[in-house]
Amino acid sequence: MSGEPVLLTEPAFMLVIPKQQRVELRYAPTLADHVGVVLTLLGIVALLLLAIFPRASFGPVFAQGPASIPVTAVLALALGVSLWSWWNNPERVYKHGHQRLSGQHYESAAHAFDRAYGARKVPGKKAEALFWAGRSLEFMNDHTGALQRYRELASRYPDNYWAAESLYRIVLLSRKTGDARAARDAYKQLLQYFPENAWTQKAIKTSGMEQ
């Protein structure tokens, strides 16, 4: 970022007041992330040692002999479930998508956002992931894939924050692909449902269409 503070306005929204025309947001691991990774790796190493050397002196917590096998199995299963849950956590996947997007790895970013979209439950969060999947595909010039996601967002989540920009991008991409009818339909939806929205005003200025 260029130095501006990031203000938390709501649990799922951040506000940045830019001091220049271009603002760059970077998603990076925090100290808590690094500590969590280290503790997870230490737990894996401990379980491997326990499985390889079941009679080693790990203290009185672990029973010796045959009784140690179920304990090891239960701990290994618990760790496996925890790792699976962490790996498939939709918020981790969504954050990973932004990391890939920031690194201009658009294909893997789109895949991550699609995964987050499928796993998230809250409509607003699903629409957010769907929008960024579309943007990632748009960056890699996959206009067909981007349009599919923008249209799905505008259709399923018409009242969402990202709906207006999705319609605006449908206008632009439809014109690029020569689908004038789809561009006009999206433009009319912008005028009808988001008459005062900034993306509607931008569409009026850039689309060349009449109101």
178 Cβ contact list (under 8 Å, min separation 6): none
Helix (H) or strand (E) holding 15: strand 13-16
Helix (H) or strand (E) holding 8: strand 6-10
pLDDT in tens, 11-50: 567 777 776 666 666 666 666 677 777 777 877 777 777 7
Q: What residue ranges define each of the domains in the chain, with the CATH number in brackets?
A: 32-87 (no CATH), 122-207 (1.25.40.10)
**DSSP code of residue 66:** G
pTM over 0.85: no
Q: Identify which has the larger pLDDT, 70 or 107.
A: 107
Q: Tell me the backbone φ, ψ of residue 134, rounded to 5 degrees.
A: -65, -45
176 Cβ contact list (under 8 Å, min separation 6): 143
- Classified as helix, coil or strand, 187 is helix
